[in-house]
Amino acid sequence: MMEKQIFAIFTRTPLHVGAGNSVGAIDSPVMRERHTRIPIIPGSSLKGVLADLWNDGNFRRTDEGKKLFGEDDPRAPEAKAGQLLVGEARVLAFPVRSAKGSFAWITCPLALRRLERDGGFELDVDSLDGLKEDQCAAVSDEVILGGGTVVLEEYQFAVQKKELSAIAETLAKLGADPVWQEVKTRLVVVSDEMFSYFVEQACEVVTRIRVDDETGTVASGALFNQEQVPSETMFYAVLGAEGRKEFSASDALSRVREKLESAGNVLQIGGDETIGLGYCTVTLN
């Protein structure tokens, strides 16, 4: 029997899960869905980070880790797939600059409908359909200017009367990070088209270098632009488990939750750990 839970990932620092080199203006872009351009964290990356929590200190998985995630060596005679099934994580709420309230978290009907489907929530997303590109729904006056408008980056949106408090309360429960709790007053829903635009165009782009130790200047060919998903971004993934004789499905998920709690519910995901990227508050719901 299969059980699944929502694995919420809230970025404390910018996050970079690279898509390889690019011929465009950005040398090292982040991974995205091809059809929506929404940033993602591949399930393989998440599985590797979680499996490392069961490291025995010699870069091998413990026996429990092998049951949950599979053998280290897939060629081993006793190798078989682990009990856990780790899906890719997608952006659910994305922080953007706001003319009022400093910043707001934006989401869209598509992202909410996916969460409704994957997590079994009832969010009444149909009531948000029909938002035009210059319209939005806001949960509170925290981000609404006089005249009933919201200004995000350089774009102005007319606020439509939609009830978002129940949705905001549900989203707030996904993560335990105290900063994320402000989503109850900072949530803005925009159209699917504008959400795709913002998550593609409003990510951070930083210039990285490598210094030549002998000259003290930038090493030849070591200047590149790197794209990063900003801090305070909320991702979510589906974490599932199959029931087996070793552990029931619920027991397997409980062991993951316990391990996350022992790690302080903080994981480092993606590249550039040594310069502080990818530290996230994680919650298994």
| Cβ density class 246-282: b for 16+ within 10 Å, e for less | ebbbeebbebbbebbeeeebebbbbbbeeeebbbbbb
pLDDT on residue 250: 95
pLDDT on residue 194: 98
| Cβ density class 86-104: b for 16+ within 10 Å, e for less | bbbbbbbbbbbebbbbebb
| Cβ density class 203-237: b for 16+ within 10 Å, e for less | beeeeeeeeeeeeeeeeeeeeeebbbbbbbbbbbb
Backbone torsion region of residue 265, taken as left when φ is above 0, otherwise alpha when ψ lies between -120 and 50, otherwise beta: left
DSSP reduced 3-state for 152: strand
Q: Please determine, for residue 23, whether its predicted confidence score (pLDDT) is greater than 70.
A: no
Q: Please determine, for residue 180, whether its predicted confidence score (pLDDT) is greater than 90.
A: yes
For the stretch 140-165, pLDDT in tens is: 999 999 889 999 999 999 999 999 99
pTM assigned to the model: 0.92
As a dihedral over the C-alpha atoms of residue 224, residue 95, residue 264, residue 238, rounded to 10 degrees, the angle is -90
Average pLDDT over all residues of the chain: 92
